[in-house]
Amino acid sequence: MVEGGQLQEAQAISVLHEMLQQSFNLFHTERSSAAWNTTLLEQLRTGLHQQLDDLDACLGQVMGEEDSALGRTGPTLAVKRYFQGIHVYLKEKEYSDCAWETVRVEIMRSLSSSVSLQERLRMMDGDLSSP
């Protein structure tokens, strides 16, 4: 969805928020600490938390009452399902170091997509502010 550019601004912000929130939740589990360098894990958590705080402000600005359902439908729901699949995978693999490495690669891919989405949002904001 991100790659195809099929998202409107409110949807894009909602999807980005969900991606960051799910990543934050994933790396805040007790079992994540066993597979990761503690210092690097804490830096990742702190960075994700800061991004979420920044995005919360944007989310409030572009989403009104009528858009509150975005978190339960469409692209945002797809992100939630994606991360549920990651949780299932980790559980099936008994949270092994190998499973966490696979998840790390997946998360890097998803965060890379989120950077692309953030750049697209910046361009939208630039377009909106132009006369």
3 pLDDT above the threshold of 50: no
Residue 84: the pLDDT is: 95
Residue of higher predicted confidence among 92 and 112:
92
* Count of CB atoms situated within 10 Å of the CB of 99: 18
Residue-wise pLDDT tens digits, 99-126:
998 998 888 888 787 777 667 666 766 5
pLDDT (average), residues 8-33: 84
* Count of CB atoms situated within 10 Å of the CB of 103: 20
Q: At what angle do helices 9-26 and 38-62 cross, to 10 degrees?
A: 150
Domains in the chain (CATH in brackets) are 2-126 (1.20.1250.10)
Residue of higher predicted confidence among 87 and 58:
87
Residue of higher predicted confidence among 80 and 130:
80
Contact in structure between 10 and 63 (CB atoms under 8 Å): yes
pLDDT (average), residues 56-82: 71
* Weakest mean pLDDT among 4-18, 44-58, 82-96: 4-18
